[in-house]
Structure 1
């Protein structure tokens, strides 16, 4: 859900970008956000128990797209349920059960299209689904970690530790956590919208230039977030004006209690205080010490912390304490984040993947190194992104094709430039020849991609591979590199 009404207000400062802006940088990914989007296309199979790997294909396709643009992905999955989100999770579970029952009823009545719409709202992302994706990512050399609780807090901690440079997500909570650069609505081509923390003060009608981090979090809480449902009748703009005027939780709550327009109970103060502390000090996993840590250093001198520790010395609402061995097993994907049971024994994925892998620090990472985890051959990346080969023979034939030899790869020498020049001269001679195949004549241009119009910018991605092949009139290679989706209902282990 995120923070209610925040993203539409921040739309004027959203910058249309392409992911190649973060080439050779580490970018964190909220794994569950991609799993939800991938499961949207196979909700019928997931809700009816039919084996499918379409959500896995969706995830891996976008990972390969990041690798194609030399972006170093760091995937973080959610862990156990946070106590502060118990009410939110209960509401979501009831909604899923309602739509699941409705979808099954429509399916029995042969209304499949309407049933699919219900299943899309009823689909539930499980830790086992995340585990299956993580096993494939580990074989690709991608850094994967399962947070002890919320992936948002874990990603924010990585940003605070300078482990990652930006975060790809669909959740506005990361703004309240204090992440500097957040990428929203990233498509399969790499286009998205960037919200930078430094531009928050430029929002018209919602001046945040003089807001502290505590004030921003307090505004998010009373407007409505995952940790607190918000105050009825109080939107994001009214919440901004109230926090701007009263600044602290005590004074804001006093105003709410003495204003007959708002229905606030005395026990809501404790809920707001816990929500504020959860945004500040939620427990995360420190991969360097291999144990739980606070999102930011805990200040026991903080009046709210001091008062809460009198009631709960362990501050369990920030995430119950977990033994070091258990939290390490959860982070590495060996143990179920909720039950602490082994996930490798009942796993149908690659049994050779071991959880003894270590975290790759950004300081030790070099994408030019031959041993780098992300240093894949550029030609293989292009092939994997657009069409997965069926066997090694097809891989060899496509990689050695003339078109692949003229692709601009990193560190290309003079020989590559020469071949590229010869190819261009050859194309200029054949430009007069009429095009054939691919269902269009030489006069009609290829169909353009849909443009997303913005107030300040227009997303217009550069020429893609299919358009380039069309411009060069290389019809045979165009047919070879057309994307063809994989067969549906294929088990993950390929059996």
Structure 2
């Protein structure tokens, strides 16, 4: 739902880390990694994470800086990677590619005129998860003993399925589509400072007076990653219209409007491709091997990752002590 629109409807409350202590969280890896990747690129000189042959691995810094937040609060992250992109998302993917290309043109112009700040900002917006980033991310997570799952399609849908089936305690994403895909609870702000937020599906439906299908219908009227919305319909109007007319079809008929592939999109949200998984939560990071991989093998500046590795090591000691008390 133009994800920001769903923010106006979702039941979200602040929680403390003490509230979710010991939880297993299925994290949308693309969403999580991209946020740390772009932050690293924006604020770190590129020579710090670029190999001698020009390969950029800013993701390694992002991972080492991002994982301690989980470990220090006794959370087990399960990183869920996207699988095949559904045909219904082709327009969204093309739009993102076009925006990256436009940002790259503006970045080059900013660099040419000597505007380093603007160039860095735009460089962050041009980032994509390359084959090397995918490979090195999985290698580092394996060394740190972080469980991973390869989704058959949308990572967010797989996270939602894992939360709904009890394989994990919560989904974890900064976006809102986990709600539409049926995650009972989603933790947000896992890449931000401070405490997380918890988005609750049942509370959302109760507050709106809709079932999950009705919520999806309202989302589609506003627009999702898979479809354009109907002109003039915002989130609150969409909810009112679905209540009044019964479902998406009733609203479209009333407005003489159409959403291409509407039935397929509805079905995708209600029953997305996903797999059942068993998660081994006995995480035991090999910090020394991970440090050697990042610094020695990939040439990342040691001082950029040392504190992150220290925090990971310290968190494991503290977690062990906590479990004995």
| TM-score > 0.5 by shorter chain | yes
| Larger relative helix fraction | 2
Asked if residue 87 in structure 1 is aligned to residue 91 in structure 2, the reply is yes
Q: How does 1:213-292 map to 2 (within 5 A)?
A: 213-257=212-256, 264-265=257-258, 268=259, 270-287=260-277
Shift of 1:79: 2.0
Taking the aligned partners of 2:306 and 2:323, their CA distance within structure 1 comes to: 17
Gaps (5+ residues) in structure 1? 258-263, 288-358, 366-371, 378-383, 390-394, 413-495
8 A contact 1:17–1:192 mirrored in 2:
yes
CA gap of 1:155–1:78, structure 2 versus 1, over 3 A, is same
| Count of aligned residue pairs for this structure pair | 297
Could you say which structure has the larger radius of gyration?
1
8 A contact 1:81–1:149 mirrored in 2:
yes
Shift of 1:127: 4.6
Which structure exhibits the higher relative contact order, with contacts defined as CA atoms closer than 8 Å and separated by 6 or more residues? 2
What's the CA shift string for 1:19-69, capped at 9, x where partnerless?
A: 34222221111111122111222436499x954444322223332331232
Equivalent residue number for residue 388 of structure 1: 309
Secondary structure, counterpart of 2:323 in structure 1: coil
Shift of 1:148: 2.1
2:119 to 115, 118, 129: 115
Normalising to structure 2: TM-score of the pair? 0.80
Equivalent residue number for residue 145 of structure 1: 149
Q: How does 1:461-472 map to 2 (within 5 A)?
A: none
Equivalent residue number for residue 491 of structure 1: none
Taking the aligned partners of 2:170 and 2:308, their CA distance within structure 1 comes to: 28
Gaps (5+ residues) in structure 2? 288-304
Secondary structure, counterpart of 1:124 in structure 2: coil
Asked if residue 31 in structure 1 is aligned to residue 44 in structure 2, the reply is no
CA RMSD of aligned residues (A): 3.1
Q: Which sits farther off after the overlay, 118-127 or 273-282? A: 118-127
CA gap of 1:178–1:110, structure 2 versus 1, over 3 A, is same
Shift of 1:243: 0.4
Shift of 1:178: 1.7
Shift of 1:138: 1.3
8 A contact 2:36–2:66 mirrored in 1:
no
8 A contact 2:143–2:286 mirrored in 1:
no
8 A contact 2:164–2:184 mirrored in 1:
no
Equivalent residue number for residue 279 of structure 2: 360
Equivalent residue number for residue 39 of structure 2: 41
Shift of 1:386: 4.5
CA gap of 1:229–1:188, structure 2 versus 1, over 3 A, is closer
Taking the aligned partners of 2:308 and 2:94, their CA distance within structure 1 comes to: 41
